[in-house]
Structure 1
C-alpha cells in the first residue's frame, strides 16, 4: 500500500508546452494516490533549479519531481545528493539521458506512477572540481561530463533545432564538427601514471547510453561506485564511421575508442577545450577533474517487478 508523501514539483517552463495543463495532470495523479497538493516551483534563466530544490528540502518534502531536461535534473540532483529526499523524473527535455538509462518514459502518467509506486534506488553522482558555478551550473553530473567534441556538438546545436527535431538535432550539429583536429590530451586515473593520447573527446560517464539509446559504455552502471571513461580518437570521417558503427553494433575493440574505469579522472590539455556536464556547456578550460560520490542520490525508479493490476 502506498503511503502518502509530501511532494514538490520543479518545472523548467522552457521545456513544457502547456504549463497549466501539465500542472493539472500531475496534481490530479498525486491526488489519486491521496498525496497532498505538491509544492510547485518554477526554474528561471538565472537559476536552473538549485534554489528551488533548496526550497523544497527546507519545506520538508519527501519527493521532488523534476519536470525538465538533463540540466534541470542536474541542478536539482546537486542539492538532493546527500539527503534522504528522493528525486523523481518527469522527462520533458531533449536528451533526458538519466531517464532513458533508467527506463523512465516520457509519458507523464507513467513517470508520476514511478514517483508514487516505484522503487527507491541510491545512485552515484559525479563531481567536477573547479566547474564554473557562477553560470548556475552546480558542478555535478548524474549522466556524464565531457571535454572536446561532445561539448562542441552541444554548443553548436540551436535550441530551436532541439525543440523541432529532438536528439537528431545533435547528429546534424555533430556532423559539422567531424573534421576538427584531434587534440593532445593527458589522462590520469586514480592518481596513476599519465596516459597520453591525441583525442577528439574524453567522456566521463555515470551511465552508458547516449542520445538515441546508443550504448557507448554498455557496462556502466549508475550505482557501481565507478566512473566509466571513453577516449575517442578518430582521425578522419572514415574513422568516425567505423567508430559509430562499432558502437551501434556493440562490437568491442575499436581502435578509435578506449575505455577505462576509475573513481577519479583527470584530463589535461595544452589549450582550452569546450566542456559539458549532463548536456549543458560550461566554461572551457585546459583541465577536467571528475570524481565519484557513491550512493549519493536517492532516485525513484521503475519497480523491479510489475505491480499487480488493481481489482
Structure 2
C-alpha cells in the first residue's frame, strides 16, 4: 500500500486529533496506508521533518499548514522527484490559489493521491528557496510586523494594519542587474520577485508570472504620492501589466539586487534577514507538485 507523510504546522491545525483522523480516513478511501505524521516546531518549520519522511520512503508528502510550511517542505523535496501535495491551513495559501488546488480537505486529498504531477520552478534568494514570492522593503516589513494571533483572527486583512504603519517608511535606493544587465538606479518602497503572481482576493502584482516557465517576474514599486498609491491599487485590482507611477517590471532567470541602506527581505512570507546585496535565481522544474487534472476513478 502506498504511504504518505503529513508535515503539519500545529499552530495552523488546532484540532489536531480530529484533523489527523480525517486525513487518515480520506487516504484509506483510496487504498493508502496510515500516513506518517510529523509536526513542525518553532526551530524547524518542516525541512527536517520532510527529510525524515524521505528517509522512511514516503511516496508522497503533504504540507499541512500555511505558505511557510509549504516553502519548508519544498526546500527538502527539491530535486528528489517525490511529489508534494497541499493541505491548506494558513492565511494566504497563495501557491494553492494560483494553481487552483482545492482548499477543502476531501478535495485536497483527492488531488494529492490522484492528481497530475506538475514540475514547478523554485526561486532561491540568498540560499533560501521560495515557491511563491520573495520580497524586500515594505513587503518584508509587513511579514515581520504581522503577528500569528492577528493572522489567525483576521486572516489576510491582518496585514492591512501593518501596511498602514509602514507606508511612511523612507524609500531605499535600488539597482537591479537583470541576467547580468544593470538597470537604471531608482528609489523604491518594495521589490517583489515572484514565481506566481496572484494575491488574495484575485489581485495580482505579477499578472504574467507562471510557475513553470523557468523565469522570475519582478516588480519594483516606488510610489511617492497618495495618488501614486491609488494607481498601484488600481493596477492590482485590474491585473494591469502597465508601468508608470513608480512601477517598473522585469523578467529574469538570475537577478542581483543592490540596495542602500541595508533592507529586510522575506521568502514566502517568512522574514529572513536584512542585506545590502541579494542574489536571486530560478531552479526550473525543481519541485514535483500534485495539481488538479489527471484524476481517475
Matched with 1:52 is 49
Contact 2:207–2:241 (CA under 8 A) maintained in structure 1: no
Measure the CA separation in 2 of the matches of 1:39 and 1:228.
Answer: 36
Measure the CA separation in 2 of the matches of 1:39 and 1:17.
Answer: 19
Matched with 1:275 is 265
How far has the Cα of 1:216 moved from its partner?
1.2
How far has the Cα of 1:187 moved from its partner?
0.6
Matched with 1:296 is 286
Contact 1:178–1:236 (CA under 8 A) maintained in structure 2: no
- Greater than 4 Å deviation, 4+ residue runs: none
How far has the Cα of 1:8 moved from its partner?
0.4
Matched with 2:146 is 157
Cα distance change, pair 153–236 in 1 and its aligned pair in 2 (3 A) = farther
The answer on 1:248 being equivalent to 2:237 is: yes
Matched with 1:36 is 33
Deviations 1:15-61 (A, max 9, x none): 11200011000000000101011111111111100100100111111
The answer on 1:17 being equivalent to 2:14 is: yes
Cα distance change, pair 299–18 in 1 and its aligned pair in 2 (3 A) = same
Contact 1:123–1:222 (CA under 8 A) maintained in structure 2: yes
Matched with 2:165 is 176
TM-score using structure 1 length: 0.92
TM-score using structure 2 length: 0.96
How far has the Cα of 1:5 moved from its partner?
2.4
Question: Which runs of 5 or more structure 1 residues have no equivalent in the other structure?
Answer: 132-138
Deviations 1:51-88 (A, max 9, x none): 00100111111110010111111111001010110000
Measure the CA separation in 1 of the matches of 2:241 and 2:61.
Answer: 39
Question: Which runs of 5 or more structure 2 residues have no equivalent in the other structure?
Answer: none
Counterparts of 1:197-208 in structure 2 under 5 Å? Answer: 197-208=186-197
Alignment equivalent of 2:200, drawn from 205, 211, 220:
211
Contact 2:79–2:286 (CA under 8 A) maintained in structure 1: yes
CA RMSD of aligned residues (A): 1.4
The answer on 1:185 being equivalent to 2:174 is: yes
Deviations 1:131-173 (A, max 9, x none): 5xxxxxxx10000111111001111212111101101111221
Measure the CA separation in 2 of the matches of 1:201 and 1:174.
Answer: 12
Alignment equivalent of 2:218, drawn from 215, 229, 233:
229
The answer on 1:110 being equivalent to 2:107 is: yes
Contact 1:179–1:236 (CA under 8 A) maintained in structure 2: no
Further displaced range: 66-75 or 166-175: 166-175
